[in-house]
Amino acid sequence: MKSAALAGIVVLLAGCSGTDAPEPCSLAHRRGTYVQHFDERPNGTCGAVSDQIVELTTGGGVPPGCRYDADDKPSFDECNLTRRYTCPLDGAPGTVSIVAVTTERDGGASFDGVFTSTIRDADGTIQCVSSYDVTYTRR
């Protein structure tokens, strides 16, 4: 249930690498249809997250019902983006808080980064914490 809840609320957070991109980075590159893939890092306790197809629109944002925990922080060159948000769990009482740092590659053809999730029950007690290496590949 924890991984299913997490999978339902993950949102693309993108930036780019200034040295390997064919064009300058732009926050506007964060749009289109992507395959989203997660690999849980060692010592995580939330479990695997299945691959997903996600549709992204310019400007990104958080899923409906979620709230920002801090303002988005893009790098000066718009290559990296840090986003922090919290969402209700899908089908269970509690919340999942996400901190995501991503980097744009190849003019927006792909993105990669790290998502850290903290799942809390309805009383605020931490149920699990995991970090995931995440990749997005344009379809």
**For the residues of 4-72, what is the DSSP string, one character each?**
HHHHTT--------TTT-SS---GGG--EEEEEEEEEPTT-SS-----EEEEE-TT----TT-EESS--
The pLDDT score that the predictor gives to residue 70 is 93
- Residue 14: is its pLDDT beyond 80? no
* Average pLDDT estimate for 36-64: 86
The pLDDT score that the predictor gives to residue 54 is 84
Tell me, what DSSP letter sits at residue 3? H
Residue carrying structure tokens 């999942």: 96
Q: Render pLDDT for 82-123 as a digit per residue (tens, 0 to 9).
A: 999 999 998 889 999 999 999 999 888 999 999 999 999 999
The pLDDT score that the predictor gives to residue 59 is 58
* Average pLDDT estimate for 37-64: 86
Q: Which long-range contacts (CB under 8 A, 24 or more apart) does 80-83 make?
A: 80/15, 80/16, 81/13, 81/14, 81/15, 81/27, 81/30, 82/13, 83/11, 83/13
The pLDDT score that the predictor gives to residue 43 is 94
* Average pLDDT estimate for 70-91: 92
Residue carrying structure tokens 């200034």: 18
Look at strands 110-120 and 126-138 and give their pairing: antiparallel
CA distance 112 to 85: 18
Q: How confident is the model at residue 21 (pLDDT cuts 50, 70, 90)?
A: very low
